[in-house]
Amino acid sequence: MKFIVASQLLYKNLQTVSSIITTNSAMPITENVLFEIEGVKLQLTATDLETTMTTEVELSDAEGGGKVVIPAKIVLETLKSLPDVPVIFTISDEYAIEISADESNYKLMGFDADEFPQKPTMENAASFEIDAKIWGNGIAKTIFATGTVDIRPVMAGVLCEVKPDDITFVATDAHRLVWYKHSGLQFGVEASFIMPKKPLLVLKNIVQSFEGNIRVDFNDSKIAFNLDTVSIVSKLIEGKYPNYDAVIPKGNNNMLKVERLPFLQRMRSISPYANQSTHQVRLKIEPSSMRLTAEDIDVSYRATATVPCTFEYEDGGEEPFEIGFSSKFLQEMLNNMESQEVIFKLSHPKSAGLICPLREDESKEDILMLVMPVMLNE
């Protein structure tokens, strides 16, 4: 078996599928990539047994077809060092691999493709299509708020709810929650499922440079994403997602309006002075200004900053409103908004705060973020 391929084309695709590879002492062959040649098409497949990713590469030329498992790491290092030149792969029946390129020659051993895990299939699957940018935006706006498996398995993923004319993404780690909805769509299905974080991160990176639709196939246990020459199949997370609507407070009527970027910049400047376990920043809010304070009394660190704002009490009160939040959480949330101004809807220093963008025009996107307060040190 022999084939010729452009070095940087193969490098890009091999790097993409290799992103899901993990160390697996129980099945070490999964630390490699399956190469399958048919005609002048090369299909690359990688898996961690939970997620399987496949991509297709156009070859310059090929002699014979077949498949072999190749160590991805060393091939990536080889390709990375090469200019964009044709690379010749020659593979013997004993899986000996010879790579020739740019007046250099490399030899390594591959493995029997029959030892590689079978690709997952999708039985009784429903499907829908969605613009890749919309999907990628929904994931990017929520995935940072996911929790870990140690807390609660369902919180380690992103909930997706598909309805006839909108799609909703939700993520929470019990300390914060992000709800994102995109309306004005058309789907032929209704569905609700919890997607694991790892394949979503891989997909988020791919769609940044992709124009077109993603086809999403799903059944009770798996989900598949198909776009152009890339396919990702993953197990869904089993279990019941928390009733997120029940934890979103309905009576937060103290309104803080502030410009997002100046607030974010002030938060960044003082956060290194906060306690590095709680990351607490105190917000002392008055009708036209907000004072931010970060301190770590154990090492005598303290920093303050002031930012203009507009604050309106529900009952017309005038006393300063003080509340503490994790500066780490606030920075992540503000970074994942795009509006010039944001609104904080507050109730009590011990109750969750809501953050949403302030938009003057009609938008098909809607986003709401919830963050639990940090107990203030008196």
Q: Could you give the CA distance from residue 72 to residue 58 in angstroms, rounded to a whole number?
A: 18
Residue 376 has pLDDT above 90, yes or no: no
pLDDT digits (tens, 9 = 90+) for 307-345: 999 999 887 667 889 999 999 999 999 999 999 999 999
Overall residue count recorded for the chain in this entry: 378
Rounded percentage of the chain residues whose pLDDT exceeds 90? 85
> Which long-range contacts (C-beta less than 8 Å, at least 24 apart) are formed by 185-191?
185/130, 185/134, 187/128, 187/130, 187/162, 187/163, 188/128, 189/126, 189/127, 189/128, 189/162, 190/162, 190/163, 190/164, 191/126, 191/128, 191/160, 191/161, 191/162, 191/218
359 band by pLDDT with thresholds 50, 70 and 90: confident
208 band by pLDDT with thresholds 50, 70 and 90: confident
Q: Which residues pair with 192 in a beta bridge?
A: 161
In the chain, the domains with their CATH numbers are 2-115 (3.10.150.10), 126-245 (3.10.150.10), 248-371 (3.10.150.10)
215 band by pLDDT with thresholds 50, 70 and 90: very high
Residue 314's pLDDT is what? 80
Q: Could you give the CA distance from residue 16 to residue 169 in angstroms, rounded to a whole number?
A: 25
Residue range 204-231: mean pLDDT, rounded: 92
Residue 377's pLDDT is what? 67
210 band by pLDDT with thresholds 50, 70 and 90: confident
CB neighbours (10 Å) of residue 19?
Answer: 14
**Average pLDDT of every residue of the chain:** 93
> How far is Cα of residue 57 from the mean position of the Cα atoms in its chain?
25
378 band by pLDDT with thresholds 50, 70 and 90: low
Sign of the torsion formed by the C-alpha atoms of 182, 183, 188 and 193: positive
Residue 360's pLDDT is what? 65
Residue range 229-241: mean pLDDT, rounded: 95
pLDDT digits (tens, 9 = 90+) for 262-274: 999 999 999 999 9
Contact 294, 303 (CB under 8 A): yes
32 band by pLDDT with thresholds 50, 70 and 90: very high
Residue range 227-244: mean pLDDT, rounded: 94
- Which residues are CB-neighbours of 218 under 8 A, at least 6 positions away? 122, 125, 126, 127, 191, 193, 224, 236
Residue 52 has pLDDT above 90, yes or no: yes
Burial class (CB in 10 A: 0-12, 13-18, 19+), 207: buried
Predicted TM-score (pTM) of this structure:
0.91
Residue 280 has pLDDT above 70, yes or no: yes
- Which residues are CB-neighbours of 324 under 8 A, at least 6 positions away? 280, 281, 282, 283, 349, 373, 374, 375, 376
Q: Which residue has the higher pLDDT, 361 or 265?
A: 265
Q: Which residue has the higher pLDDT, 213 or 361?
A: 213
